[in-house]
Structure 1
Amino acid sequence: MILPTPTASGLACQRTASFETIQEALEYAAGGRSGLNFYSGRGQLVETLPYAQLRADAIDLARTLLAAGLAPGERVALVAETDGDFVRAFFACLHAGLIPVPLPLPTTVGGKDGYIANLRRMTQSAGAVAALGPASLDGWLRLAVDGLPMKLLGTVAELRAAGGQGPGLPAADPEALLYLQFSSGSTRFPLGISVTQRALMANARAISAHGLRTTADDRCVSWLPFYHDMGLVGFLLAPMLTQLSVDLLPTREFARRPLLWLDLIGRNGGTISYSPTFGYELCARRAETASIENLDLGRWRVAGVGGDMIRPARLQAFSDTFAARGFGARAFLASYGMAEATLALSFAPLDRGLVTERVDTDRLERDGSAATPAADAPRARDFVRCGPVLPGHAMEVRGPGGAVLPERQVGRIFARGPSLMDAYFDRPDETLLVMSADGWLDTGDLGFMADGEIVITGRAKDLILINGRNVWPQDLEWTIETEIALLRTGDVVAFALDTAAEEQVVVLVQCRPVDQAERAALQEEIVRLIRARHSIEVSVTLVPPRSLPQTSSGKLSRAQAREIYRSGAFTPAEAARAAV
């Protein structure tokens, strides 16, 4: 019988990422008993990987990689399956001086051809000379890199079986490039972000010591993918850097059985776990028809929320549903970050739950002021405080001319600090667009400060300009999803199209009914709803379930949805678009 690694590492003291290099950190963690635990979609423990075993395997595999002709500094594309072999390959690359490049798994949108094309573009963008993945995707990976100059191609299992002793492993450099992390791609094609040893250590220390205040009694649980920064840094690298055990569920299995995530938290005494809002909502929905009597969430002290806009009403529903199972709303922890900052930039204070700022929506759209609404204000919206910037970092909200704005005035968010990337890999043109000479990063996000805490209101590129109003697409999406019972979070995406006359607002809605009368009624209801709530005329197109494009982090990609719409793929005759 396989047993999970214990929560207590057995080490004399916990070190919170106080290392020069990740190799040094793994050597220290290997002295204890903690490690990684991989579960199946049935909740069965299928593999344990103590840090001691990971270090031994990674060193052996690193020598094999060098024996295969790879040279330090070269990039290795790794399809990021949630299994031990991906982790072994990732750390093997680090020990060999190679640069691992985690690549995504297939999604439901785009199908085989779209996925293969995406892998190819990412591999070429990274200049990878080797590509490794799971056996289940070996054929697709080979198609993706067909014709590219590869020194090595196959599965990690095949490489481990081949063995081979190459030259001695290079010394770890605290200033070196460590890995490439592709951006989420919510507004454009993902770019490779250069993450250095220095940046990772700075961010992991800030996360562990200040954001989460981890202790040796903590245990992490995650279903987040390793190809996204929240999964890779938050639930693989940072836990290892603090010697914590992690229980891991593949992302696709969470989508099928979301309550398994909560079962793992209760079963193994999980204390730290994260999810975008939609993950909590999915659990609450599933609990409507499934038994939750055996769940024990009483030890869950950090229920992190990040990776997308935070929806407090959905989280309240989760809290209400699972309060009887020991979950406390004070465990919710709002945070803000991005891959360009390694992972995190801010955390709300621990053990206070969500704190919201209620804003007059009319004032917000008209002049960018986050004013408190009057009692008779026709429209208002709640935004969540995401806490102060991490120690050693700085954050500013700036206006169009670059001046720092006062509190409660919405502007573009800029950040600076030791966790930030040096550049987009091999893209100096893109780097210059977002990084200033003195190290300030233009995050592309909009928000305001409230009592020194950052409040995120949306992405700058997603804003819709209608008759002098700045309309947030999330407002339109959330109105529709909240007020129309048959729709769920993620079923709606809104964006603007430039026409000869003015911007046209398009709303795509995933529709499950097939009856034409029901579909027509749904379209008309949405048009009336948005006109009444937002005084905007919209064009509504119904699309099939699971057809809206998502980024690697599970966020809706409005940019990609816009391009698919423009191509005509979302306008079949039977969709009967309603344009008013």
Structure 2
Amino acid sequence: MKTPMNPTPINTTLAVRNSGFSSLVEALEYAAEGDTGFNFYDHRGELDSVLTYRELAFEARALARRLLGLGLERGDRVGIVAETDPMFHRFFFACQYAGLIPVALPAGVQLGAHSAFVNQLRRMLESCEAAVLVSPESHAPFVGEIADGLELVMAGTPAEFDALPERDIELTAPARSDIAYLQYTSGSTRFPRGVEIDQATVLDNLREIAQSGLKLTREDRFVSWLPYYHDMGMIGFILVPLICQLSADYLGSRTFAMRPRLWLKLISDNRGTISSSPTFGYALCARRLRPSDYEKYDLSSWRAACVGAEQINAAPLQVFAEALKPCGFDPSAFVACYGMAECVLAVSFAPLDNGLEVDFVDQGVMMASGEARPVDRQAGNAVGYADCGITLPGFETRIVDEAGGEVSERQCGEILLRGPSVMSGYFRDEEATTAVLDENGWLRTGDIGYRVGDRLFLTARSKDVIIIKGRNIWPNDMEVVAQRLDGVRLGGVAAFSVDGIGEEEAAVIVLETKERDDEVRDRMRHRIVELMHEHFGINVIIDLVKPGTLPRTSSGKLSRFQSKQAFLERRSMAAAKARARGSDLKTA
């Protein structure tokens, strides 16, 4: 029988300090003087383990000496399979104390994707030339296969590392210029690359998030189900609470996917104030709610419900807000934000307490010229983009055209950023680094957006924009329209363009559906074609696939690049089968 545990409290004993630290180690040492920390909840929503900052500092120091006892040198990389488990925090901060570089690795294994998971981790470990691999017990069966043939000093579970002798080695504090960690990008448009973030860079962004973005106080409490291998999960819900000496409560990502209402229960029970999710997380919660749930949850404490994506879809958020209104959820708690791993985490935040604000523009004008011309939201040609707020104070921002010239207000262009929160580069990849970072420190984000005053609006990724007959069409807009069909779930649509079909570039929509009836499927195709003509004036190729077909990045985002590759492979196979049938007929 488990000994009853209590989660760590809000910060009532320590003066809140979010700046002036020289390293993450110094930040942890200060937080360890208080009573706050991290709390981990199991698949039933019950408290499973507690790790105070004081315990974390003590255990991380001991583990650092064990790692250095393996003969590792400062700067060596340690791959950590980032399951929602205290082991991740222990090894991440052991690396900080030891001068090693932690690398968070994906923990999500999709059904039937064993080989893909193993190969992904092997490529990441090879990319960063890791010396060590550590895996939670849940992933122990994969360790041997992942490590096979790699030049690792050691690969194993936390228990195996804890069994190593603790050497009498003096630990040296990290310098501000030392690499704090490598964060692999989500890889939605290309294979992930290791973003190199040093101590000074991460501390700068954490301070700006705390002071300017969320305006954190000692009354705040974090709640999260986001994976640690994603920048929002690791930076937003491990390092931000740490830098402000606040407590955080965790639910595993797989647990959330199966029982999303536990997220709401945790916020309600522990009076959480800060939590975040992609739009699909809010939509999933709204779908799973029952009338009997309304009296169970009190969400009135939730003051910042952050949401970030390349383009924020307001519709599921409005459904969530309406569904949770009886539970005390305030729609003004929604905070649209923009960020990326190349800038640690956050670039901009919408103003607190304003809720989601949407700018409605003329879709036809947008496609033809890139101008975001305002229209009434009820207009038939209206398309909405969320206000992602003002960039954090440390950033300089430019929006430029293809020639590099700065565009005017309400004109779409690529977003460029410069400031102390920008990465130093991709780890040991000079070609990739120089492609996005110029000699003056400007980062090409690859994101398309426009500005209204000092507010930022995102429309698409530059690599994803569909160009047909000289018009720019944002794939997310096409996906949102397709999702209006009955039976089409949020996130179950991918839009992109392909070459070599017909006489010019063509738009493609891949849509997941459970429907098997041929007549119904034909009606779905016909209706989508009508919608695309009505809203965008283009022809489109429709590919209906079974649920679970569309590929995702390690952070759960739709990968349009991989969706396109899979579509082309399906077409190639279908063409080969058709040729084979034709050959058989001729032979007969």
- Indicate whether the TM-score tops 0.5: yes
Q: Give the Å deviation of 1:290.
A: 6.5
Letter in 1 for 2:138: S
Letter in 1 for 2:119: A
Q: In 1, are the aligned partners of 2:8 and 2:36 still within 8 Å (CA)?
A: yes
**Cα distance between partner residues in 1 of 2:112 and 2:532:** 29
Task: Tell me the residue number matched to 1:188.
Answer: 190
Q: In 1, are the aligned partners of 2:348 and 2:391 still within 8 Å (CA)?
A: yes
Task: Tell me the residue number matched to 1:24.
Answer: 26
**Cα distance between partner residues in 2 of 1:363 and 1:409:** 11
Task: Tell me the residue number matched to 2:586.
Answer: none
Task: Tell me the residue number matched to 2:217.
Answer: 215
Q: CA 1:517–1:157 in 2, change beyond 3 Å: closer, same or farther?
A: farther
Matches within 5 A, 1:102-501: 102-108=104-110, 111-165=113-167, 167-287=169-289, 291-373=293-375, 378-481=380-483, 483-499=484-500, 501=503
Q: In 1, are the aligned partners of 2:310 and 2:460 still within 8 Å (CA)?
A: no
Q: In 2, are the aligned partners of 1:180 and 1:194 still within 8 Å (CA)?
A: yes
Q: What SS is found at the alignment partner of 2:508?
A: strand
**Cα distance between partner residues in 2 of 1:249 and 1:377:** 42
Q: What SS is found at the alignment partner of 1:281?
A: helix
Letter in 2 for 1:484: L
Q: CA 1:461–1:4 in 2, change beyond 3 Å: closer, same or farther?
A: farther
Q: Give the Å deviation of 1:206.
A: 0.1
Q: What SS is found at the alignment partner of 2:557?
A: coil
**Cα distance between partner residues in 2 of 1:412 and 1:294:** 45
State the TM-score, normalizing by the size of structure 1: 0.96
Structure 1 portions without partners, runs of 5+: none
**Cα distance between partner residues in 1 of 2:205 and 2:25:** 16
Which stretch shows the higher mean deviation, 287-296 or 135-144? 287-296
**Cα distance between partner residues in 2 of 1:540 and 1:219:** 45
**Cα distance between partner residues in 2 of 1:528 and 1:310:** 24
Letter in 2 for 1:559: F
Q: Give the Å deviation of 1:551.
A: 1.4
Q: What SS is found at the alignment partner of 1:567?
A: helix
Q: CA 1:63–1:543 in 2, change beyond 3 Å: closer, same or farther?
A: same
**Cα distance between partner residues in 1 of 2:6 and 2:331:** 28
Q: In 2, are the aligned partners of 1:109 and 1:548 still within 8 Å (CA)?
A: no
Q: Give the Å deviation of 1:142.
A: 2.2
Q: CA 1:209–1:461 in 2, change beyond 3 Å: closer, same or farther?
A: same
Q: Give the Å deviation of 1:255.
A: 0.8
Q: Give the Å deviation of 1:309.
A: 2.0
Q: In 2, are the aligned partners of 1:510 and 1:546 still within 8 Å (CA)?
A: yes
Q: In 1, are the aligned partners of 2:103 and 2:183 still within 8 Å (CA)?
A: yes
Let me know the Cα RMSD of the aligned residues.
Answer: 1.9
Q: In 2, are the aligned partners of 1:222 and 1:273 still within 8 Å (CA)?
A: yes
**Cα distance between partner residues in 1 of 2:94 and 2:469:** 55
Letter in 1 for 2:424: D
Give the counterpart of 2:537 among 503, 514, 535: 535
Q: Give the Å deviation of 1:285.
A: 1.0
Give the counterpart of 1:558 among 536, 546, 560: 560
Q: CA 1:122–1:289 in 2, change beyond 3 Å: closer, same or farther?
A: farther
Q: Give the Å deviation of 1:537.
A: 1.3
Q: Give the Å deviation of 1:158.
A: 1.8
Which stretch shows the higher mean deviation, 409-418 or 519-528? 519-528
Q: What SS is found at the alignment partner of 2:425?
A: coil
Task: Tell me the residue number matched to 1:84.
Answer: 86
Q: CA 1:163–1:296 in 2, change beyond 3 Å: closer, same or farther?
A: farther
Letter in 1 for 2:397: M
Q: Give the Å deviation of 1:291.
A: 2.7
Q: In 2, are the aligned partners of 1:85 and 1:157 still within 8 Å (CA)?
A: no
Q: Give the Å deviation of 1:400.
A: 1.4
Count of residues paired in the alignment: 574
Q: In 1, are the aligned partners of 2:332 and 2:356 still within 8 Å (CA)?
A: yes
Which stretch shows the higher mean deviation, 499-508 or 464-473? 499-508
Q: In 2, are the aligned partners of 1:541 and 1:571 still within 8 Å (CA)?
A: no
**Cα distance between partner residues in 2 of 1:16 and 1:546:** 42
**Cα distance between partner residues in 2 of 1:290 and 1:66:** 54
Q: Give the Å deviation of 1:41.
A: 1.6
**Cα distance between partner residues in 2 of 1:542 and 1:163:** 57
Letter in 2 for 1:520: D
Q: Give the Å deviation of 1:572.
A: 6.9
Letter in 2 for 1:536: I
Q: In 2, are the aligned partners of 1:230 and 1:307 still within 8 Å (CA)?
A: no
Q: Give the Å deviation of 1:530.
A: 1.8
**Cα distance between partner residues in 2 of 1:308 and 1:245:** 29
Task: Tell me the residue number matched to 1:524.
Answer: 526
- Superimposed CA distance per residue, residues 228-277 of structure 1 (whole angstroms, 9 cap, x where no aligned partner): 10000000011111101000011111111111111100000100001111
Q: In 2, are the aligned partners of 1:208 and 1:214 still within 8 Å (CA)?
A: yes
**Cα distance between partner residues in 1 of 2:448 and 2:288:** 33
Q: In 2, are the aligned partners of 1:174 and 1:197 still within 8 Å (CA)?
A: yes
Which stretch shows the higher mean deviation, 101-110 or 130-139? 101-110
Letter in 2 for 1:486: G
Q: In 2, are the aligned partners of 1:7 and 1:218 still within 8 Å (CA)?
A: no
Pair 1:15-2:33 in alignment: no
Task: Tell me the residue number matched to 1:36.
Answer: 38
- Superimposed CA distance per residue, residues 383-438 of structure 1 (whole angstroms, 9 cap, x where no aligned partner): 11111110121111111111111111100000011111001000000000000111
- Superimposed CA distance per residue, residues 14-63 of structure 1 (whole angstroms, 9 cap, x where no aligned partner): 00143111101101101111000001121011110000001111011111
Pair 1:94-2:96 in alignment: yes
Which stretch shows the higher mean deviation, 312-321 or 214-223? 312-321
Q: CA 1:375–1:196 in 2, change beyond 3 Å: closer, same or farther?
A: closer
Q: In 2, are the aligned partners of 1:2 and 1:48 still within 8 Å (CA)?
A: no
Q: In 2, are the aligned partners of 1:68 and 1:166 still within 8 Å (CA)?
A: no
Q: Give the Å deviation of 1:569.
A: 8.3
Q: CA 1:375–1:51 in 2, change beyond 3 Å: closer, same or farther?
A: closer
**Cα distance between partner residues in 1 of 2:445 and 2:291:** 41
Q: CA 1:518–1:340 in 2, change beyond 3 Å: closer, same or farther?
A: same
**Cα distance between partner residues in 1 of 2:498 and 2:367:** 19
Q: What SS is found at the alignment partner of 2:458?
A: strand
**Cα distance between partner residues in 2 of 1:115 and 1:180:** 19
Q: Give the Å deviation of 1:98.
A: 0.5
Q: What SS is found at the alignment partner of 1:566?
A: helix
Q: Give the Å deviation of 1:174.
A: 1.5
Q: In 1, are the aligned partners of 2:8 and 2:50 still within 8 Å (CA)?
A: no
Q: In 1, are the aligned partners of 2:294 and 2:326 still within 8 Å (CA)?
A: no
Q: Give the Å deviation of 1:376.
A: 8.7
Letter in 2 for 1:344: A
Which stretch shows the higher mean deviation, 158-167 or 218-227? 158-167
Q: In 1, are the aligned partners of 2:394 and 2:421 still within 8 Å (CA)?
A: no
Task: Tell me the residue number matched to 2:510.
Answer: 508
Q: CA 1:274–1:337 in 2, change beyond 3 Å: closer, same or farther?
A: same
Q: What SS is found at the alignment partner of 1:270?
A: coil
- Superimposed CA distance per residue, residues 557-579 of structure 1 (whole angstroms, 9 cap, x where no aligned partner): 00111112222289779x99xxx
